[in-house]
Structure 1
Amino acid sequence: MSLPATDPSAHNSSRAPEPVGLYPHARRVGNLLFLSGVGPRQRGQKHVPGVELDEDGNILRYDFESQCHAVFQNVRYIVEEAGASWEDIVDVTVFLTNMRDDFHTYNRLYAQYFGTSQPCRTTVEINRLPTPIAIELKCIAWVGER
């Protein structure tokens, strides 16, 4: 079964970066909001914050901390425009391309952003992401009255 192109359960943020494929930023099912993977790119830009590429598009250097801040901001944009708040995020899956070097920084920043709400969390290392980024988040949020 396919969903109509104007499916009211699909949500796209006007502030988060455009999806790199055919998918919405989020989809609401009942009182749950399921976010697609969110990276650190900024809307209308191909450049990734904190990433330096060579002429072939390979990553030379990246500032992981700036990517984390950008990802968290993009998640906030999507969640808030869909009618939830940061504190309504109940589950976070994070994909890192370099767990050994970046996990400590991620864990520190995660504690700053999620210190009071403490959603469930899973962190996995992957070989690469579809764009030259070092982190991507997939989240579930609660939308509506509690």
Structure 2
Amino acid sequence: MCANKITPINPADLAQPGGHYSHGTVANGFVFVSGQLPITSAGEKLVDASFSVQARQVLENVGTVLTACGSGIANLVQVRVYIDGIDNWPEFNRIYAEWAGSSQPSRAVVSTSQLHYGLKVEVEAVALQGS
């Protein structure tokens, strides 16, 4: 029998998940952030926004989930990034470096042909709980 507690987290200042999942899950001192899309807290999908606007929104969403789970950017362990084209990698890397600051977790950036709703970027992450 598993004695570990698993806690789903859905921050009030993010739009509700669009499917059967939680924005974040806390388990055994780890924080798992579900793939975050460029969707505002009001539920607006930023389909027509530039890549940089979408990337900043996604990272803001990741930060919101981390905070709600009792973590933060400094506690990131691994980040997975999905972008709609490899040409967006340099711009994402620049925006990500500004956002992450001195934190340099393991990371993968995967170029995809298409993301949900026609959006340009999605980010998921794993972090340690604590500040």
TM over 0.5: yes
Moved more, 75-84 or 10-19: 10-19
Instruction: State which structure, 1 or 2, has the greater radius of gyration over its C-alpha atoms.
Output: 1
Q: CA RMSD in A?
A: 1.6
- Between the two proteins, the alignment pairs up a number of residues equal to 127
Find the counterpart in structure 1 of residue 27 from structure 2. 29
Structure 1: runs of 5 or more not aligned:
1-6, 53-61
Distance 2:8 2:37 in 1: 19
Give 1:8 deviation, angstroms. Answer: 5.4
For the Cα contact (< 8 Å) 1:17–1:74, is it kept in 2?
no
* 3-state secondary structure, aligned to 1:77: helix
Q: TM-score, normalised by structure 2?
A: 0.89
Higher helix content, 1 or 2 = 2
Q: Which runs of 4+ in 1 moved over 6 A?
A: none
**Is 1:10 matched up with 2:33?**
no
* 3-state secondary structure, aligned to 2:94: helix
| Structural mapping, 1:1-146, within 5 Å | 9-48=7-46, 51-52=47-48, 62-100=49-87, 102-144=88-130
Determine what percentage of the aligned residue pairs are the same residue. Answer: 26
Structure 2: runs of 5 or more not aligned:
none
- The CA deviation string for residues 61-111 of structure 1, in whole angstroms up to 9 with x for no partner, is x400011111111111111011111211111000001112x1110011111
For the Cα contact (< 8 Å) 2:31–2:129, is it kept in 1?
yes
Give 1:138 deviation, angstroms. Answer: 0.7
Q: TM-score, normalised by structure 1?
A: 0.80
* 3-state secondary structure, aligned to 2:117: coil
Distance 1:26 1:108 in 2: 25
